[in-house]
Amino acid sequence: MNSRTNTLFPWADSGAAEAESLLRDHIQRDPFPCVGAKAALARGTLDIVSARDITSGWDDLRIHDRLRHFAADYRADPALFRSLAVVFEGPDDLDEAGFERALWHRIQSLSDKDVWLGQDWDDRVSPDPDDPHFSLSFGGEAFFVVGLHPRASRPARRFARPTMIFNLHDQFEQLRAQGKYEGMREKILVRDEALAGSRNPMLTRHGEASEARQYSGRAVEPDWACPFRYTGK
């Protein structure tokens, strides 16, 4: 487990050990369906950021700094199964709609900071959340977000603290190129069905429908409109 200390914010990692312990124990449990997260945990390539409140922008500068460093580290060594998880201390009573709003507020804030710092958008993906080829971009690298929180309706998304897990889009492309993506995806779906009794209807392949619909874990309505808007060029 990599809990790289951020030298710009040395005071801010005081809760990292507890956050790591909670998330590590959660992922290690046999029913947890995401085999990619289990692989990252086993390889020590799951980075953890501990943050205060998902409804507040208090830690957004620090989170964005970690994302940029994470993207740069990946480009220097593009090995599979790396993720960056931001575990918030709370609040733990958000319903699904409340968590969804908070998650997109954090995403918008982080993206705006990327623009402010002059970071290029990863041109392999679209910045339009209505586009089937949409992904987020931080530090020039595309990311897919998985939200976890205590009151999620899907068991696979249920965790003691509000959490945002940033997964690298390029790793999905690597798996496709190696012919491993479909097998891994099916394994996750089978495990999720065993846990929940049904497959997650929100899960689609990149390019079939916008992945923005999947981020919060809520089963969004057919006419759902993503609140994110890219403010760069």
The pLDDT score that the predictor gives to residue 87 is 97
Straight-line distance from the first to the last Cα atom of the chain, in angstroms, rounded to the nearest whole number: 36
pLDDT at residue 4 tops 80: no
If phi > 0 it is left, if psi is from -120 to 50 it is alpha, else beta; for residue 140 that is left
pLDDT in tens, 71-121: 999 999 998 899 999 999 999 999 999 999 999 999 999 999 999 999 999
CA dist., res. 132 & res. 117, Å (int):
27
The pLDDT score that the predictor gives to residue 189 is 83
CA dist., res. 125 & res. 135, Å (int):
6
The pLDDT score that the predictor gives to residue 14 is 58
pLDDT in tens, 33-83: 888 888 898 899 999 999 999 999 999 999 999 999 999 999 999 988 999
Using CB atoms within 10 A of its CB, is residue 76 exposed (0-12), middle (13-18) or buried (19+)?
exposed
The pLDDT score that the predictor gives to residue 228 is 98
CA dist., res. 63 & res. 128, Å (int):
23
The pLDDT score that the predictor gives to residue 134 is 97
Give the model's confidence band at 5: pLDDT under 50 very low, under 70 low, under 90 confident, else very high.
Answer: very low
pLDDT in tens, 204-214: 767 678 999 99
Using CB atoms within 10 A of its CB, is residue 63 exposed (0-12), middle (13-18) or buried (19+)?
buried
Give the model's confidence band at 3: pLDDT under 50 very low, under 70 low, under 90 confident, else very high.
Answer: very low
The pLDDT score that the predictor gives to residue 11 is 41
Percent of all residues in the chain with a pLDDT value above 70, rounded to a whole number: 91
The pLDDT score that the predictor gives to residue 100 is 98
pLDDT in tens, 142-199: 999 999 999 999 999 999 999 999 999 999 899 889 998 788 888 888 888 888 888 7
Residue whose structure tokens are 């990252």 = 40
The pLDDT score that the predictor gives to residue 165 is 96
